[in-house]
Amino acid sequence: MAAQREVGLFIDFENIRYGMINNFGVEPDPQALMEKARKYGPVAVAYAYADFTQHPALYRRKLEVAGITPRDVPRRSPDVAHKSSADMAMLMDIIDCLLDRPYVQTLVLMTGDSDFIRVTARARHRFGKQVVISGVPGSVSSDLIESADAYDPVGDALSPVVASAPGPDEDIRLLQLVVWLAGHRPYMTFGFIRSHALSPHHGLGFSEDQVTDRLTDFKERGILIESYRPADDGRTLRTLELNADHPSILACRQLPTPNFEESRPARGGGTAASDADAADAADAADGTGAAFTAASPAPSDGHARNGGAPDIDTTASIDASTTAATTAASATNRSDVDPALDEQPPAVDVASDPNRWVSKSV
């Protein structure tokens, strides 16, 4: 009985997703990706590789529903966008498949990355496998296509995206604020963006529910991507990162940029930035952060405002010095003063005397 020819599907999910967003303005459909692989036979193994903390959470479920196992590979550096060790993990799984699964005769590699040229050539010439490259048109290496047996593009039936306005005027204004905040802050949280959007200083005119609904919609559309950042107290802070490659963001950047200043005073004596910082601190503390005001009431218990040293009342000091001098002068003119008093050592503060607990033997 002849062995059944099986298919191995390996998806560079970051390459495919960003390629489809940039070129067609749509998100990938895991079901469609699986159907493309099934054209070549029953799929024995199917993996998708990415740092899934940088992508909408719904993709994990969608991939699993389509029969594709998500392989979560963290980024190598948090400072470099879209870069992770996913390529290396995918490469190692391809090699394991070549060595351990002889019945897998066709490899479908959904990527456009030229890093896979050598493994593609090795799979064909040394292991006798059929290799199909299935990448997004416009983001596939021509050398990678030449190294494979076939090229079956993803999204070939789609039309290239044409940059357009992201939506109603309210959405545009909110997107412009988000883009501006992303360029002026090291990171953003949901509460931080919402506080800025609700600030009278920016004049967007949203209600709290409207802002919450629109920001949630931005997350679902992939405009804002959830991420995680270690907080100073050791906890993990959930943040939002701007998907700079999203067509709505690209269209928004082509519009005139409003001037969202932070220095104008807001109601209550603070600023719009300070109000949002308080919300950001609350997010960092999972809702328990406290906002501190710059103008605190003056202490009334004699403690200083800085460093804990007592405040000095100069008027009281002058009066005390004058009284002491008057007392000393009157004592000098008294006839009953013992002359030996002038030879006495100055009074010792018992609390500061290092020998106060030492008893001397007679």
Give the span between the Cα atoms of 84 and 95, in whole angstroms.
19
pLDDT at 246: 82
What is the Cα–Cα distance from 175 to 247, expressed in whole angstroms? Answer: 12
Q: Which DSSP letter does residue 271 get?
A: B
Q: What are phi and psi of 49, to 5 degrees?
A: -115, 130
User: What are the E-state strand segments in 294-361?
Assistant: none
The predicted model scores a pTM of: 0.48
Q: Please list the rounded mean pLDDT of every run of 10 residues in the chain (362 residues).
A: 77 90 85 94 95 87 95 67 73 95 95 93 96 91 94 76 51 85 86 85 78 83 83 83 83 78 47 51 44 37 42 46 48 42 43 46 40
Strand (E) or helix (H) holding 49:
strand 43-50
What pLDDT is recorded for position 132? Answer: 96
Alpha helix stretches (DSSP H) within the chain: 13-24, 30-38, 58-65, 86-100, 117-125, 142-147, 169-184, 190-198, 208-220, 247-253, 272-284, 314-332
Q: How far apart are CA 193 and CA 179, in angstroms?
A: 10
Position 243 scores a pLDDT of 85
Sorted by sequence, the CB contacts under 8 Å of residue 311 that are 6+ apart come out as 299, 302, 303, 304
| Beta carbons within 10 angstroms of residue 16's beta carbon | 24
- pLDDT for the residue 1: 38
Question: Could you give the CA distance from residue 86 to residue 172 in angstroms, rounded to a whole number?
Answer: 34
Q: What is the CA radius of gyration of the chain?
A: 35
**Tokens read off for 32:** 């469609």
